[in-house]
Structure 1
Amino acid sequence: MTTTTKPAEVTKNRTAIKKRSPLLVVLPAAALIAILTYTLPPFRNYQLATIGAYLCVTAGLTILTGLNGQLSLGHGALMATGAYTLAILQNHVNLLIVGILGAIVVTTAVGAVIGLAAARLRGPYLAGLTLAVAVVVPSVASTFDETFNSDQGLTVALEPPPGTITVEQWQAWLCWTAALLTVLILAYLIRGRFGRDLRAVRDDETAAKLAGVGVARTQVLAFVVSAACAGLAGALFAVLAQSVSPGAFPLTLSLFLLMAIVIGGLGRLTGALIGAFLLVALPSVATSIAENAGSQRLEGNLALTFFGVVLVVVMLAAPGGLASLSIKRKKQKGQE
């Protein structure tokens, strides 16, 4: 005799999963990161820190593109804005927390300006605007050489980590503290009215207006939140590299960010984490292959090729991204 799960029980289980507090995910993740920093070698800790920095920007881009439907090809430029702001403040004030907060504030202001313009644009016109931003910002850094030191960039003065903590461990703690706080804040934001407004505007702007949602306001807020996350990520990258230059934020970076969240899963913070991991893993594999082949020119082309191939394969096998695979499994278990 077989037993079946009642529809009410399935609905109750799904509701329990949806209402699970983000803290129940973030706190174990923080403990796991702390354990990993003591077990991994220095280079792996540096890669772990890089994943955390990327998670900040991919999470923000997920909010903008995945939940609100705005396409951005300029987040690499927003990261550059945050990185240069931190470098300038750090070299004058020499307080890291001030530099990071300053980077977030300045990039948020830039994002608000772009968001006001983006709220009037749709589709390829919006992509063209953000693409222009991605081209202009590195050019500004190269033009005003007295402030930004042209193509050579700026160094970032940092105090050594306290005690016996290695630099790589300290970097991993810093980046993942910022990443987990970012994910926690965003998770609570999208669970409330702001998240419902984002989805409503993405799905149907006319219906959203009729429901009383401010479409333009929601789009600008989405860009502001996403820009703040990008500025934080740029500041963290400046700390990781201890220098900032226009070459560190090329146009391909914005393309990689967009492809990463699509592969990971649009509209899901889990997808942002998967995308952040791929942003570190795939170029690392490409670098290893290029070094074995003895060709430096092959390195950059291989990374883009890997992303392209993975994107095609994932879109064929899982159109919702890699994060959608786990959701399908949960649904199948709930139906059993």
Structure 2
Amino acid sequence: MPTTTDTAAKAPAARDAGALRRRWEHSALLRHLALGLLGLLVVTLLMETTGSFANSQLASMAYLGIAAGGLTVLTGLNGQLSLGHGAFMAVGAYTTALFLDGETPALPLPVVLAAATLVTLAVGAAVGVAAARLHGPYIAGATLALAVAVPGVVLHFASLGGEQGLGVRIPEIPAWVLDAAYFVTGSELHPTKYVAYIGWTALVVTYVLLANLMRSRVGRTWRAVRDDEVAAEIAGVHLGRARVLAFVVSTACAGLAGGVMAMAVRITAPSGFSLTLSLTLLSAVVLGGLGSLTGALIGSALLTFLPHLVTDLGVDAGLTDVRAAELAPAVYGLTMIAVILVAPAGITGTVRGLLRRRRGAA
């Protein structure tokens, strides 16, 4: 039988464990940080066990995931339909390209990405204030016009490279980063993997911040505006201020995504920011599930890996490379239609609904 001394010794440990459990249950920030670190660990394992092409795909998924996460806040949480996020990605990408054009001294990449985010945030604030009175199809039409206009405007500025665009030079990787990467992973860090790590670090930081923002008072205000504008205004919510704030947060994410995209693609040209990019981002959010950061990440993964998978299957089936590449958009479109018909709430929304019904039945 345990003695009184043993019981007294175990009591402080039990209290500490209980306090830690309560802190875990009530601290959203702690949970989000833990999930973010776990995600970085999984991505590190993936990048260290795959080749350069897979690393470039993971970098693409990172910038698409950042942009889709910002669009989730705007469209899924606040109810503003944006068809022009590709234009804000262009602002961030061109800002990054101007800093990394090879003629000016290279700044640290975190500083460059912060500058791209702040410049796009300022542009998004100007557009958001101008469009604060718009909602529904009107805000969609305004952002659609922006997506069409920005690539055309860039063509008229020779300093931005015109139709050929600007090349992006990745600065030399700092020695301490190379040493730390070799110490942790046991392998050399090449530029493609370096950009992928930067992209996923930016994605994890962005998602942790967005997840906490969505659970805060600001997030509840955005949901109130989305669900019932009249009731939210009666409750004292300033509709214009809430819309502008959501727009600014979303465009800042798009600017960061554009900066990572510029480094991953190594070139910034108007053709990379067509209307197709904006519509593709919106389709990723719808596929994954509106209002869910997990859904945004799933949608960006489908955008990244599905076309290549379909192309490989088409080539294996005997199609030429061109026909196999043309098959990928068709399959993606059919996937979109199937998800809308079978799971109108998106992948994550449907899974959550099934789990709730199962718990209710139990």
Equivalent in the alignment of 2:8: none
1:297-308 superposed matches below 5 A:
299=325, 302-308=327-333
Equivalent in the alignment of 2:113: 100
Per-residue CA distance 1:67-121 (angstroms, 9 max, x = gap): 0110111101110110000111223341122221111011111111111122211
Equivalent in the alignment of 1:9: none
TM-score (norm 1): 0.89
Deviation at 1:333, TM superposition (A): 5.0
Per-residue CA distance 1:16-43 (angstroms, 9 max, x = gap): 5995821232121111111111111111
Equivalent in the alignment of 2:150: 137
What amino acid maps onto 1:52 in structure 2? A
Deviation at 1:253, TM superposition (A): 0.7
Q: Quick one: distance in 1 between partners of 2:328 and 2:246?
A: 30
1:174 pairs with 2:177: no
- Cα 1:296/1:148, change in 2 over 3 Å: farther
Equivalent in the alignment of 1:185: 209
Higher Cα radius of gyration: 2
Q: Quick one: distance in 2 between partners of 1:69 and 1:25?
A: 27
Identify the match of residue 285 of structure 2 among 249, 261, 265. Answer: 261
Q: Quick one: distance in 2 between partners of 1:17 and 1:29?
A: 21
Q: Quick one: distance in 2 between partners of 1:200 and 1:244?
A: 38
- Cα 1:168/1:90, change in 2 over 3 Å: closer
- Cα 1:155/1:30, change in 2 over 3 Å: same
TM-score (norm 2): 0.83
Equivalent in the alignment of 1:315: 340
Deviation at 1:332, TM superposition (A): 4.2
1:325 pairs with 2:350: yes
Q: Quick one: distance in 2 between partners of 1:47 and 1:25?
A: 22
- Cα 1:153/1:134, change in 2 over 3 Å: same
What amino acid maps onto 1:112 in structure 2? A
Please say if residues 170 and 191 of structure 2, whose CA atoms lie closer than 8 Å, have aligned partners that are also in contact.
no
1:152 pairs with 2:149: no
- Cα 1:17/1:43, change in 2 over 3 Å: farther
Q: Quick one: distance in 1 between partners of 2:254 and 2:58?
A: 18
Q: Quick one: distance in 1 between partners of 2:85 and 2:245?
A: 16
Q: Quick one: distance in 1 between partners of 2:114 and 2:80?
A: 26
What amino acid maps onto 2:340 in structure 1? M
Q: Quick one: distance in 1 between partners of 2:148 and 2:324?
A: 24
1:107-256 superposed matches below 5 A:
107-145=120-158, 147-161=159-173, 162=175, 163=178, 164-256=188-280
Q: Quick one: distance in 1 between partners of 2:314 and 2:172?
A: 33
What amino acid maps onto 1:174 in structure 2? I
Q: Quick one: distance in 1 between partners of 2:291 and 2:247?
A: 15
Deviation at 1:218, TM superposition (A): 0.5
Q: Quick one: distance in 2 between partners of 1:22 and 1:158?
A: 31
Deviation at 1:213, TM superposition (A): 0.9
Equivalent in the alignment of 2:71: 61
Q: What SS is found at the alignment partner of 1:293?
A: coil
Deviation at 1:316, TM superposition (A): 1.6
Q: Quick one: distance in 2 between partners of 1:288 and 1:187?
A: 36
Q: Quick one: distance in 1 between partners of 2:312 and 2:162?
A: 31
Equivalent in the alignment of 1:78: 88
What amino acid maps onto 2:90 in structure 1? A
1:270-281 superposed matches below 5 A:
270-281=294-305
Identity of aligned residues (%): 45
Q: Quick one: distance in 1 between partners of 2:41 and 2:89?
A: 28
Per-residue CA distance 1:33-54 (angstroms, 9 max, x = gap): 1111111111111111211111
Identify unmatched segments of 5+ residues in structure 1.
Answer: 1-14
Please say if residues 61 and 226 of structure 1, whose CA atoms lie closer than 8 Å, have aligned partners that are also in contact.
yes
Q: What SS is found at the alignment partner of 1:182?
A: helix
Equivalent in the alignment of 1:32: 42
Please say if residues 63 and 267 of structure 1, whose CA atoms lie closer than 8 Å, have aligned partners that are also in contact.
yes
Q: Quick one: distance in 1 between partners of 2:190 and 2:100?
A: 21
Equivalent in the alignment of 2:6: none
Deviation at 1:290, TM superposition (A): 6.8
Q: Quick one: distance in 1 between partners of 2:25 and 2:341?
A: 31
Q: Quick one: distance in 1 between partners of 2:59 and 2:26?
A: 29
